[in-house]
Amino acid sequence: MQHHAWFAESRFGMFVHWGLYSLAARHEWVKNRERLTDEDYQRYFDHFDPDLYDPAQWARLAKEAGMRYIVLTTKHHDGFCLWDSAQTDYKATRTPWGKDLIAPFVEAVRAEGLKVGFYHSLIDWHHPEFPVDSFHPQRDDEAYKAAAAGRDVSKYADYLHAQVRELLTGYGRIDYLFFDFSYRGRPGTWSGKGADDWRSEELLAMVRELQPEVIVNDRLDIPGDFVTPEQYQPAGPMVVDGREVPWEACQTLNGSWGYDRDNLDYKSPDLLVRMLVDSVAKGGNLLLNVGPDGRGQIDPRARGTLADIGAWMRVNSRSIYGCGPSGFAAPPDCRYTQRGDRLYLHLFAWPFGHLHLPGLAGRVKYAQFLHDASEIRTRVIDPGQQAGLTTMGAVAPDVLTLDLPVQRPDVAVPVVELFLTE
């Protein structure tokens, strides 16, 4: 659909996981992992007061990093709502903070010219009609399970639909919707839930009616507009039912989605840039997560990482925005992205003085480093002159050779811009 074109053009977005679990600072699944009861978890609700919440700063950080859209958790699996939902008292407006957090977020994102995205959990460990299953925090509490035996998932589905309606009618145009997640029949689980439980066909029809231009992910247990590999990079373009489909890799800075104070296993900015490039080279997007703390701040290390990515994007974003896979085969430790007659060679490893590009002899008018527009000399080795050549190994006649400097450019990933002939 034409109104979905912005998604492939953007290629890079920010994911934000934020809620009561940010106070625990031990991963967003802390309630599940530690088998916390509602009473245990209540202390985070009672002390939720994010006085340093500044969605305008979040939006600026995203834009400066080169991101084109932001997706915020309106409700995660713990059931806590960041907006003033009429369906529950388990919401930000009932905490010490006392105010809707979604409205200022939407305003700030729009003010920076970015697309607005909502994440909404299909799961709700706080709702009194959500049946206990293998992911529920009280899954091992036999007394709790016995008391919950009569729960009616259809009543919960009514609640789910009503909340989605609120989100899609209360904040103007919404560009992106990420539901999470279905697990019917998943190995190693019991009482898993899927499309029948969520009434997904009905839910998606309502979404399309209320927000005709919104794009919706694939986790309703029915087909969506794009697929969402999580915490891994696909080996190539993603294929569903024999055709390539839009996709988006969801990735974290340190393995945790929510704020995790003691998790220091951060990915380097260079690695994250390579993950972005790898996604685009295979026809996908990258949705990179940050987890603000309990006061609403994005921590200094995350801010520094975003700034480093932004420094690379400032001079190399032409190789990302609106680009996709190329029909040319990239050399080892390299990725191609392409847009029209511009072919972008991303050098994940630095070659020994020259680099051979199969299939490009006679196909390139000009070559330059993208970060500074400095020329790169090219040549095609004449097959008839190779017998006595000692400075270059034998190469095929269709190979274009780049002569590269000894010193690697001081950028996270050097990019060569190749101007193709028609």
pLDDT at 1: 52
What are the residue ranges in the chain where pLDDT is below 70? 1-3, 383-394
- For residues 70 and 105, what is the distance between their CA atoms, to the nearest angstrom? 10
- For residues 257 and 24, what is the distance between their CA atoms, to the nearest angstrom? 13
The model's pTM is: 0.96
- CATH number for the region 2-319 comes to 3.20.20.80
pLDDT at 386: 53
Tell whether omega for the bond before 45 is within 30 degrees of 0, i.e. cis.
no
> How are strands ordered across the β-sheet holding 12-16?
215-216, 176-180, 115-121, 69-75, 12-16, 284-290, 247-251
pLDDT at 55: 98
**What is the CATH class of 334-420?**
mainly beta
- Between β-strands 176-180 and 215-216, what pairing exists: parallel, antiparallel or unpaired? parallel
- pLDDT for 364-413, tens place per residue? 999 999 999 999 999 998 766 555 554 556 689 999 999 999 999 999 99
pLDDT at 367: 98
Backbone angles phi, psi at 38, to 5 degrees: -60, -35
- Given a contact cutoff of 8 angstroms between Cβ atoms, the answer to whether 245 and 226 are in contact is yes
pLDDT at 393: 61
pLDDT at 2: 56
* Sequence-ordered list of residues with C-beta below 8 angstroms from that of 393, at least 6 positions apart, any chain: none
What is the amino acid identity at position 244?
A: E
- Given a contact cutoff of 8 angstroms between Cβ atoms, the answer to whether 253 and 266 are in contact is yes
Domain ranges of the chain: 2-319, 334-420
pLDDT at 391: 53
CA–centroid distance for 377 within its chain: 37
